[in-house]
Amino acid sequence: MQCQKIIDFIVSWIRDYAGESGQNGLVIGISGGIDSAVTSTLAAKTGLRLLCVEMPIHQNKNEVSRAQKHISWLMENFENVDRVKTDLSNTFEILKKAFPETSESEQRDLALANTRARLRMGTLYYFAGLNGLLVLGTGNKVEDFGVGFYTKYGDGGVDLSPIADLMKSGVYAIASELKIAEEIQKASPTDGLYGDDRNDETQLGASYNELEWAMQQDGKGKKEHEFSGRQAEVFSIYKRLNAANSHKMKPIPICEIPNELQ
């Protein structure tokens, strides 16, 4: 993998897109994870104004610490980076109380987790609108186009996605080249939407390396019966998630009225 050339290409792509948009710069949510760390660093290298936003909602202390350290590192190395913190914990609690109770606790937990992501999306667009900025997406290829592991109109609500064509392994390779903090590179991937220690692998049932393999096999037209053991299990998990979340990965369907009815 030609990491430096990919870095240069993405940085140039972001700069060109932002320039054509006529906006004043970029805004990104910093989670303390590898994807937002890589995306924000690539954005910082454009020289454009970059606003890094912390948006904790009862966040794990380790995630908060990693996010703060990364933003500080960016500001020490790039003059175009600024920061702002908006604690959404109380806002989330008020909103949660406004929702009716339900006996379906698992579905409620998931719905509330997605609500966190949508609160953050709204916050990013507030700062974007206030300052004339573009909202940066931080999803990678496995999440965005493989298993759909993101919140529709939450972290999926962005203006541009710089790393969405990079597999997770590619994100780690770029992170190493960019000298992202070791604690971020070694941290267990998590969406941070539940306020506990659960990670992405627990939620998905497979690691990113496994899902990346399954995505590549699916791209080759492979079928589940061609695998056995753990490979068959992982491929089945991938296909199930891909099908269940396909509505996120496709354009919004439009009901086109026939000409004879108009």
Measured CA to CA, the distance from residue 218 to residue 227 in angstroms comes to 12
pLDDT number for residue 117: 96
The CATH fold assigned to 3-202 is: Rossmann fold (3.40.50)
Measured CA to CA, the distance from residue 249 to residue 168 in angstroms comes to 18
Residue 23: which pLDDT band, with cuts at 50, 70 and 90?
A: very high
**What does the pLDDT average to over 115-141?**
97
Domain extent listing, the chain: 3-202
Kind and range of the H or E run holding 26: strand 25-29
Measured CA to CA, the distance from residue 182 to residue 14 in angstroms comes to 25
- Count CA atoms within 13 Å of residue 150 on its CB side: 26
* pTM: predicted TM-score of the whole model, two decimal places: 0.93
pLDDT number for residue 54: 97
Q: In which region does residue 60 sit, left (phi positive, over 0), alpha (psi from -120 to 50) or beta (all else)?
A: beta
Residue 159: which pLDDT band, with cuts at 50, 70 and 90?
A: very high
Q: In which region does residue 160 sit, left (phi positive, over 0), alpha (psi from -120 to 50) or beta (all else)?
A: beta
**Tokens describing residue 82:** 């600024």
**pLDDT > 70 fraction of the chain, expressed in percent and rounded:** 100
pLDDT number for residue 131: 97
pLDDT number for residue 175: 98
The SS3 call for residue 177 is helix
pLDDT number for residue 180: 97
Determine how β-strand 49-54 pairs with β-strand 25-29: parallel
**What does the pLDDT average to over 89-117?**
92
Whole-angstrom Cα Rg for the chain: 19
pLDDT tens string 71-100: 999 999 999 999 999 999 999 999 999 999
pLDDT tens string 212-222: 999 999 999 99
Beta bridge partners of 81: 50
Measured CA to CA, the distance from residue 86 to residue 204 in angstroms comes to 29
Cβ atoms 92, 116 nearer than 8 A: yes
Is pLDDT above 90 for 261? yes
Rounded to the nearest integer, the mean pLDDT of the chain is 95
